[in-house]
Amino acid sequence: MKAIFLKEINSFFSSTIGYLVIGVFLVICGLFLWIFNGDFNMLDQGFANLSPFFLLAPWVFLFLIPAITMRSIAEEKKQGTLEILLTQPITKWQLILGKYFGAFTLSVLALIPTLLYVFTMYQLGKPEGNIDLGVVGGSYAGLFFLSATYTSIGIFASSLTENQIVSFILAVLLCFLLYFGFEGISNFDIFKSEAYSLEYFGLSYHYKSISRGVIDTRDLIYFISVIFLFLSLTKLNLEKENK
């Protein structure tokens, strides 16, 4: 698994992919949060608040993470190297997890420079430091689990096809449906009862729950379960390829 992981990391940074992904994420967030006028501009909030960033980041990751993962398995299929990997003395789980953690590491590296936003808002607070670091920490934890989930969905989409563009579109669609779809459907109040609200099955509900600064085991179990589900589905696809 370590060899696969290092191969993925090297492939990202030996080309422009890794730098481009991190750069695009930071440029988009920087423009919306600091330059463009609008609801996401943190300087227009009137108080030290990072909530615009944590509202914007999931939507940027919705496209960037599928762009990272679209080549993970699809490219191996297209080049005919997947069959070689599957015959190596490694398990399918080691292959999947190596690629998964390689892609996930890149998304985490994209988040690290945004800690500068925390420092900036901390300094701009009146008085200085007038910012709820507990909520900030919880929101970063939410982004951590959300990006981990997006990555598992992207790896699964990449295992379905050898076409990277198709993989990207499938991953974006699945991520969007899981993040916003259930919440959108629940707004119709189909069951006329909050107890049966479909939003509980969506990523958005659990992301917002963690972002309040309280780590609930139910949210952790949800994210871990979704990640395991999509990685398991990826393993099933690889088993079909190996037959």
Determine the average pLDDT of the residues in 58-87.
87
Asked if residue 1 has pLDDT above 80, the reply is: no
Say what the pLDDT of residue 225 is: 96
Determine the average pLDDT of the residues in 28-34.
89
pLDDT tens, position by position, 172-225? 999 999 998 877 676 665 555 554 467 788 898 899 888 887 778 899 999 999
The backbone torsions φ and ψ at residue 137, rounded to the nearest 5 degrees and listed phi first, read -60, -40
Say what the pLDDT of residue 129 is: 66
This prediction has a pTM of: 0.90
Say what the pLDDT of residue 186 is: 65
The structural domains of the chain, with segments of one domain joined by +, span 2-241
pLDDT tens, position by position, 48-65? 778 889 999 999 999 999
**Residue count of the chain:** 243
pLDDT tens, position by position, 90-137? 888 999 999 999 999 999 999 999 999 888 888 876 776 677 788 888
